[in-house]
Structure 1
Amino acid sequence: MARPPKFDRAEALRRAMHLFWEHGFEGASVNDLTEAMGISAPSLYAAFGDKQALYDAAVDLYELTAVVPPALEAATARAAFEMMLDRAVELYTRPGHPRGCFVIADPLLQQRRAVGRSAIADRLRQAQRAGDLDREVDVEALTDYIDMVLRGLSAKARDGASRKQLRAAADLALRAWPKRAKRRVPSSPP
């Protein structure tokens, strides 16, 4: 009968997530991981499988509190963008965590970034169908804009920008949100 692990699996995974977040998959060796996690290599393999499986679990853990998914549930598309910005400013500069966005930072996570971008585009199309976003708005261009703003905030945070700096940039980005077209009200005949 196998003995249960003598470490806190959740805490070890959190520590691995932080190491991957700071250094990426390629920059984090198994030795670095076991040291950060406070476990031996055999314990790492027994609990998580290989390095790739550990990395995937770390990304999954990160995405539980990431910027985009919770924001997409907002009542309006503009509120969703506002929530993304608020979350980005807070999460990308949170004390005790690596700065910026884990998914944006690691080149290996291109597919996950594409999934997030697609979810944003789907939310914007839903907003158009519901009449919350004008039909004339180019959803692809607006999705690119949102994606670029989030990437920019992440990069600035990783470069040491303060929360105040990110907030100022986020507030400016929010002011660029497409305005609703004024609807002409047909005049009644005299």
Structure 2
Amino acid sequence: MLIALNKPYGVLSQFTDRSVPPKPTLAGFGLPKNVYAAGRLDHDSEGLLLLTDDGDLAHRLTDPKHKQPKTYWVQVEGEPREDQLQALRRGVELNDGPTLPAQAERIDPPALWPRDPPVRFRKTVPDAWLAITIGEGRNRQVRRMTAAVGLPTLRLVRAAVGPYRLGDLQPGQWRPL
């Protein structure tokens, strides 16, 4: 079984949480029993999270040697310059080593649901949207990459993992694939 979930902002990519106060988890979405997340999506990121009850499938989806590309729509602070996009495309140096080259392009703002809480709006600071596709999955990698080129991430939405797309799923909705 493979399930696509639109993970809302502020939800952990796990079914239990022992922190105080507890954070919302995947347990609140009526998912089938015995599925677990194939990969992670930070609590402050949104979008496509794949869940499965098949360990081999989870391994194929998450193991870097299978190179499942992950595409993110990223709202960044600032006006992206071509040299910044080129740096993302070449790969950037992070504190845990260089990243692999990414696909990076400016896009029109995607038609998304409102985020709760909303992204802070500042009249004097422009923002823009990028589509970034990576073949790795390091901790907070896309956020660290955009920051490294001078474009801090304001909002991060995973739109695709390999051939699987978020489609029209709204936050908290899921469907079998």
Q: Tell me the TM-score normalised to structure 2 length.
A: 0.29
Larger CA Rg, structure 1 vs 2:
1
Higher strand share: 2
Relative contact order higher in (CA < 8 Å, ≥ 6 apart) = 2
Q: Tell me the TM-score normalised to structure 1 length.
A: 0.28
